[in-house]
Structure 1
Amino acid sequence: MNVRHLLVLLALQTVPSHGFAAEWQVDPSKSAIRFSGVQVGVPFTGGFQRFEAAVDFDPAKPETGHATVLIDLSSAKTGDVQRDEALPQKDWFDVKAEAKARFEATRFVDKGDGRYDAVGTLTIRGKSKPVTLPFRFTLDGGKAHAVGHLDLVRTEFGVGKGPWASGQWVALEVGVDVDLVASAEPGT
């Protein structure tokens, strides 16, 4: 048994058994969902200012967990005025037709050493695709921290229409970074 496994076991023993597999209360002020891409050869990053997450996860029984994350697509910000004004429009997120993206994890898979996969479905612009979000999970007392990264092809979800569909101006590949901080009890 390595030191990390021992630390996880010790942490598990300090958490009351009734609250560990309970729904985690995600703290949006300490959490983030970010994205990255490349436009005309120049990398850019951005994030969603508003999202909500319902997470039921027990690292001792990950296969029984589930999660739903709703992302307000109109809250996407990159720091570039022209790009930020274009993202909610019909060619990109089309928030008038579908205001939110949805990730629903139907199960979690233990990959060892604090690494897990969230297996589920991502829906953007009414297009759903199966995805697996690998993440690291740490626990400090009753506080949980999950950090993961997922690579997507934006056109598989209908993001980038017309002249933006080819990848000539904006790369088709998009990275999504998830950084969630949560507590086992409301208000902690």
Structure 2
Amino acid sequence: MTNEQLRLRRMILAALFAAITGVLAQMIIPLPLVPITGQTLAIGLAATILGSRYGTLSILVYLALGAVGLPVFAEMKSGISPLFGPTGGYLVGFIPTAFLIGWYMEKTSFTVKNAIVANIIGMIVTLAFGTVWLKLSAGFEWTTALKGGFYPFLPVGVIKAVLAASIGIGVRKRLVSANLLLPLENNMKQSA
């Protein structure tokens, strides 16, 4: 497989995960300030499977699709306003989250254990971005922002981190065996 073919396959997978993120964003459990959605599960899956570069690319594509008007954000929202509203910090936080999950996996190994650690770190990054943004945009006190935008999401976040790790590593192994992704050693050589 040539470098161009491999790059095209990775770009197609990144676009596919942008679409998956848009679909999982519509899985919603409503809460008073910020709903629980399937977006963070999709972010973890994308980064666990695709790594830092293409996992992050999938999130950038997802955010761009929503920003230009496709209803891919939670509750079928779109446009710039969700990016700057009270929940915008979570959306913006998806970018460093995807990068850090993928980077951690690339620096260690693509195992379920490492993926769980990486996804829990990613969950905390997303929640931190979202909570700070929620506090600043809504003018909340720190205790209110933490109670509404951080603490309620920890238990569900851990569950989603374990799911993203377990499913992600399984899917990644199948993509590698199907020659759609290269094993870690070859990924590092290709990106050098």
Into which bin does the TM-score normalised by the smaller protein fall?
Answer: 0.3 to 0.5
Report the TM-score when normalising by structure 1.
Answer: 0.39
Which structure is larger by alpha-carbon Rg, 1 or 2?
1
Q: Structure 2 length normalisation: TM-score?
A: 0.38
